[in-house]
């Protein structure tokens, strides 16, 4: 496995691979890797000749009062996990030089970023779209792998790829959970013992929704009321709780077709997100 820190070293390795006709699978991450990230890596390993994992805590996607400086950075541990998973290149761009001194470009995907995380985290998806497009330009992957855990992010990246004709296939991987249902996240490391217990209410509330839908409850307002009461007993703040169309992220009032339930809550000072996709047929 190669650890690469500069664009020059990365591009020279990948140019060589491309000339040999090899396919490139790319997994962008911010590090502190867990089984969720590794499920993306595993799929990339299965489907491509070369696997590149980037580890970069992207300052552009953090708001002023968010956890950029606190975000866990465990490079050695991450590199060991990547090596074990059969990754060919770990790309660790330098925080200072990745964007350069005079970096003036922002990629903005409109409409679908006005809601959910986009509505409460100003500029977040500009930061995500900018770093992902920049990484796509450098790596020119055949396929790129994203987790359904960050549902809105997937929709934003797919839109970006469509709008700007990026020649890459976006592959979406299911959410990996702890045995009690909590979705794996690098931010789970922030949780105290009691907060970790409280956080399990997120998946319970999502499952309760699925149960209600299966039992024939079709009214979004009623489902949201029930979820809100389940969540508010254990979390400190509900950032949002929405049921939307799974492709457009538009609000739905009646449960029908391909929909997604999305939740963002604070447990203590830690912000956690999760979601559940459903296909509702009458
Ligand atoms: P991050 O390091 O948080 O930026 O995540 C990097 C990638 O891993 C993103 O595409 C995430 O959606 C994905 N990911 C994070 N947590 C999970 C999880 N629990 N299950 C599946 N994918 C995940």
User: Do residues 48 and 23 lie in contact, with contact meaning Cβ atoms separated by under 8 Å?
Assistant: yes
- Is pLDDT of 226 > 90? yes
CA 228 to chain centre: 24
User: How many whole angstroms from 156 Cα to the centroid of ligand 1?
Assistant: 15
Residue count of the chain? 282
Average pLDDT of the chain is 97
Q: Which of 34, 36, 264 to mutate to test the pocket of ligand 1 (most atoms within 8 A of CB)?
A: 36
- Does this model's pTM top 0.95? My answer is yes
Q: What is the mean pLDDT of residues 88-105?
A: 95
User: How many whole angstroms from 149 Cα to the centroid of ligand 1?
Assistant: 6
- Is pLDDT of 217 > 90? no
User: Do residues 184 and 177 lie in contact, with contact meaning Cβ atoms separated by under 8 Å?
Assistant: yes
User: Do residues 243 and 263 lie in contact, with contact meaning Cβ atoms separated by under 8 Å?
Assistant: no
Element (H, E) at 90: strand 89-91
Q: Could you give the CA distance from residue 259 to residue 249 in angstroms, rounded to a whole number?
A: 9
User: Which residue lies with its CA nearest to atom 22 of ligand 1?
Assistant: 147
Residue tagged active-site, from 16, 34, 37, 124: 37
DSSP 182: P
Q: How confident is the model at residue 218 (pLDDT cuts 50, 70, 90)?
A: confident
User: Do residues 185 and 272 lie in contact, with contact meaning Cβ atoms separated by under 8 Å?
Assistant: yes
State residue 181's pLDDT score: 98
- Which structure tokens are listed for 162? 């469509």
Q: What is the mean pLDDT of residues 69-87?
A: 98
User: Do residues 10 and 2 lie in contact, with contact meaning Cβ atoms separated by under 8 Å?
Assistant: no
Q: Determine whether the shortest distance from the Cβ of 48 to ligand 1 is under 6 A.
A: no
Q: How many CA atoms lie within 13 A of 38 on its CB side?
A: 17
User: Do residues 51 and 88 lie in contact, with contact meaning Cβ atoms separated by under 8 Å?
Assistant: yes
Angle at 121 between CA 245 and CA 130, to 5 degrees: 85
Q: What is the dihedral of CA 17, 20, 26, 31, to 10 degrees?
A: -20
52 exposure class (CB count in 10 Å sphere: 0-12, 13-18, 19+): buried
Angle at 260 between CA 243 and CA 159, to 5 degrees: 110
pLDDT digits (tens, 9 = 90+) for 245-279: 999 999 998 888 999 999 999 999 999 999 999 99
Q: Could you give the CA distance from residue 274 to residue 264 in angstroms, rounded to a whole number?
A: 7
Q: Where are the alpha helices (DSSP H) in the chain?
A: 7-19, 35-47, 75-84, 116-120, 124-139, 151-163, 193-198, 201-214, 220-232
Q: Determine whether the shortest distance from the Cβ of 32 to ligand 1 is under 6 A.
A: no
Q: Which residues of 18-30 are buried (b: 16+ CB within 10 A; e: fewer)?
A: eeeeebbbbbbbb
37 is catalytic: yes
pLDDT digits (tens, 9 = 90+) for 114-145: 999 999 999 999 999 999 999 999 999 999 99
């Amino acid at each position: 496995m190669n650890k690469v820190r500069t664009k020059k070293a990365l591009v020279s390795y990948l140019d060589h691979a491309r000339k040999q006709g090899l396919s490139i699978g790319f997994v962008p991450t911010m590090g502190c890797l867990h089984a969720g990230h590794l499920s993306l890596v595993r799929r990339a390993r299965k489907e491509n000749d070369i696997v590149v994992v980037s580890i970069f805590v992207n300052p552009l996607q953090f708001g002023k009062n968010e956890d950029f400086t606190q975000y866990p950075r465990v490079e050695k541990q991450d590199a060991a996990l990547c090596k074990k998973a059969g990754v060919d290149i770990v790309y660790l761009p330098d925080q200072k030089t990745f964007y350069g001194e005079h970096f003036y470009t922002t990629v903005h995907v409109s409409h679908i970023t006005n809601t959910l995380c986009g509505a409460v985290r100003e500029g977040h998806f500009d930061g995500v779209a900018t770093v992902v497009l920049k990484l796509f330009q450098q790596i020119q992957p055949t396929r790129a792998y994203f987790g359904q855990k960050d549902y809105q992010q997937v929709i934003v990246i797919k839109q970006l790829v469509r709008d700007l004709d990026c020649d890459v296939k976006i592959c979406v991987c299911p959410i990996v959970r702890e045995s009690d249902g909590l979705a794996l996240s690098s931010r789970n490391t922030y949780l105290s013992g009691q907060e970790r217990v409280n956080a399990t209410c997120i998946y319970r509330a999502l499952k309760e929704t699925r149960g209600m839908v299966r039992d024939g409850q079709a009214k979004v307002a009623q489902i949201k009321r029930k979820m809100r009461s389940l969540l508010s007993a254990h979390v400190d703040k509900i950032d949002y709780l929405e049921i939307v169309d799974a492709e457009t992220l538009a609000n739905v009032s009646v449960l029908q077709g391909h929909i997604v339930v999305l939740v963002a809550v604070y447990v203590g000072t830690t912000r956690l997100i999760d979601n559940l996709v459903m296909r509702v047929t009458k």
